[in-house]
Amino acid sequence: MMIAVRLFARARDLAGRDMLPVELPAGATVADLRQSIRLACPALTDLLARSRIAVGDDFAEDETKLTAGVDVAIIPPVSGG
Amino acid sequence: MMIAVRLFARARDLAGRDMLPVELPAGATVADLRQSIRLACPALTDLLARSRIAVGDDFAEDETKLTAGVDVAIIPPVSGG
Amino acid sequence: MIQLTNEPIDHNALTELVRRPGCGAVVTFLGTVRDLTGDQVTVALDYDAYPQMAERKFAEIEAEVRSRWPVGEIALVHRLGHLDIGDVSVAVAVSCPHRHQAFDACRFAIDQIKELVPIWKKENWADGRTEWVHPGAG
Amino acid sequence: MIQLTNEPIDHNALTELVRRPGCGAVVTFLGTVRDLTGDQVTVALDYDAYPQMAERKFAEIEAEVRSRWPVGEIALVHRLGHLDIGDVSVAVAVSCPHRHQAFDACRFAIDQIKELVPIWKKENWADGRTEWVHPGAG
C-alpha cells in the first residue's frame, strides 16, 4: 500500500516537500514505516529518531498497524505556545 | 490624649458610627486601646477580639505605643477580592 | 500600577498595560461576583475599604511580588461600592519572561490581597438580609 | 471553545466569553512573542501546525481540564502564521467557582498545549537566519 506521510516544520525543510510517499506491504507497522522513511529520505534520519509518528491524527506506537488511506504524519518535538 | 478610632464594615454597623473617640493616657499601647474600646462600646467586644488594630495605616501589635494624632483603625477580618 | 475605584474595572486595559516585549507570558486574574455562596443566593455585594491603608498594602504586595519574580509590569485594581452579579471586583494582571513565573506571581498577589488588604464585602442575600463578611468566625 | 486562527487573537473577547455568574474566578493566560530567547534576538516567529490533529489535541485537553476542575467555560486559541514581537501567539481563558481551581486549570491547559499539540514555531533571528524549534536536542 502507498502511505503519504505528511511533513511539517524542519521535517518539511529537510525533505524539501510537505508529503513523502512511502510504499509498504499490507500489515506494516509504524516501525516498518520509520525504516522506509529513512530509506526514502535519509536527510530525515536524525530528526525522525526524536519525532513521534501520528496515525489517524493521534500519536501512534511503533507497533501500531497501518491501513491504506489513513492519515500519517511525522510529528517533530512540538514548540507551540 | 484623644484617639479617634476609625470603624469599618461590621464594626461601623455595631457601633452605629464610623469613628469612636477614646481618651488614653500618654504612653498608652494598643492593648490599652483595646480595653478602652470595650469600655466605650461593649457591642464591639466580640468582633474586636478577632480584629487587628492598625496604627499609622499598618497592622500594629498589642505592645505598639500610640501617639497623639496618629491614624488608628479597627481592622476586622478582611474579605476583599 | 495600583488602583481602588468605584467604577467598573477595565480589565482589558490592565492586560494590555502589562504586556512587554521582554515578557512572553501574561496572566490576568479576575474576581467576579458569584451568584451562590455555599447554598445561599447572593443578589449583590457592597465593598468597603480603609483607602489609604489599602493602597499601602497594595504597594507592599506589588513590591513583594517584584522582589520574588522578574515582573515586567503588574496591575492591582480593586473595585469598591455596589456590585451586581458577574461584575469584576478585583483584577490582577502580571507579565513575566516565562509562564510559570507569571502564574506564580499572579496567584501570590491575589492570595496576599485576600489576606492583607483592608477591604470588606457585604453580602446582599436574596431574602433581603445583608451581612458583612469577616472570615474566621460567625 | 477551541480555535486555530491566522488572525490576531482577541483575548478580551475570550475573557468575556468565559465569564459566568456561578464562577467567581477567571484566569486568562497570554503567550506573547518575546524579543529575546536566551541571549539571541528574535525579530519574528512563524507558526506551523498540523491542523486537524491540533484541533483534536485541543479538544482532548479541554475534556481533560473539564474532568479535573469544575470549569464554567474554557477557551483555547492558538495563532498561526507570521507573528511580530509582542503579538499574542496563544490564549487560554478559564472560569471556575474558586480562584485556585481557575489557576490550576489554566496552567494545566497551557502546559498540555505546549506538550501535546502539533504546532511548531520558527525563530527569525536578528541576523537573518531562521530556525525551526524542536525542543530536546539541536
Nearest to C48 among B8, B58, B71 (CB): B8
Is C45's Cβ below 8 Å from some Cβ in B?
no
Sheet holding A2-6, edge to edge: A19-23, A2-6, A72-75, A52-55, A58-60
Is the pLDDT assigned to residue C122 strictly greater than 50? yes
Q: What is the mean pLDDT of residues B15-36?
A: 97
For A20, other C-beta atoms within 10 Å of its C-beta total 20
C125 vs C131: CA distance, rounded Å: 8
Contact (CB<8Å) B50/C136: yes
**Which cell is B64 given?**
505598639
From the candidate CATH numbers 3.40.50.300, 1.10.8.60, 3.30.10.20, 3.90.1170.40, the one assigned to the domain spanning C2-128 = 3.90.1170.40
How many CA atoms, within 13 angstroms, populate the side-chain half-sphere of residue A11? 30
Residues C80, C5: Cα–Cα separation, whole Å: 6
Q: For all residues of chain B together, what is the average pLDDT?
A: 97
d(CA D135, CA B7): 58
Say yes or no for a CB contact (<8 Å) between B77 and C48: no
A49 to chain D: closest CA residue: D137
Q: How far apart are CA D56 and CA D7, in angstroms?
A: 20
Q: Which of C2, C5, C3, C1 is nearest to C81 (CA)?
A: C5
The CA distances from residue D63 to D11, D56, D76, D89, D100, in Å, are 21, 11, 12, 22, 19
Mean pLDDT over D58-82 rounds to 98
Q: Cα separation of C11 and B57, whole Å?
A: 28
Q: What is the pLDDT of residues C20-76, one digit of tens each?
A: 999 999 999 999 999 988 888 999 999 999 999 999 999 999 999 999 999 999 999
Which cell numbers hold the place of D43? 525579530
Which regions in chain A score pLDDT beneath 70? none
Rg (CA), chain C: 16
Answer whether B touches C (≥3 Cβ pairs < 8 Å): yes
Chain C residue closest in CA terms to D101:
C107
Output the average pLDDT for chain C.
96
* Out of A9, A50, A77, closest to residue D48 by CB: A9
Given this model, what pLDDT does residue D137 score? 55
> What is the CB-side half-sphere exposure of residue D6 using CA atoms within 13 A?
5
Does domain B2-75 sit in CATH 3.10.20.30?
A: yes
Cβ contact (<8 Å) for B8 and C116? no
Mark yes or no for CB contact C134/B73 under 8 Å: no
CB contact under 8 A, B80 and C119: yes
By the 10 Å C-beta count (0-12 exposed, 13-18 middle, 19+ buried), C129 is classed as exposed
Question: What is the separation of C-alpha D133 from the centre of its chain, rounded to a whole number of angstroms?
Answer: 16
The domain spans of chain C are 2-128
A8 and D113 in contact by Cβ < 8 A?
no
Chain C residues with CB inside 8 Å of D75's CB?
Answer: none
Of A74, A77, A81, give the one whose Cα is nearest residue A12.
A74
Query: Hey, are the CB atoms on B73 and C78 less than 8 Å from each other?
Result: no
Which residue out of B14, B48, B55, B78 would a mutagenesis test of the C interface target, given it has the greatest number of C Cβ atoms within 10 Å?
B78
Cβ atoms of C107 and C34 within 8 Å: the answer is no
Instruction: Name the residue ranges covered by the structural domains of chain A.
Output: 2-75
B48 has a pLDDT exceeding 80: yes
D54, C41 contact by CB (below 8 A): no
Q: What is the pTM of this model?
A: 0.95
| Residue of D16, D20, D29, D94 to mutate, interface with C, max C Cβ within 10 Å | D29
Amino acid at B50: R
Which residues of chain D from 43 to 102 reach within 8 Å of chain C, CB to CB? 85-86, 97, 99-100, 102
ipTM for the predicted complex comes to 0.94
Residue of D nearest to C44 (CA): D21
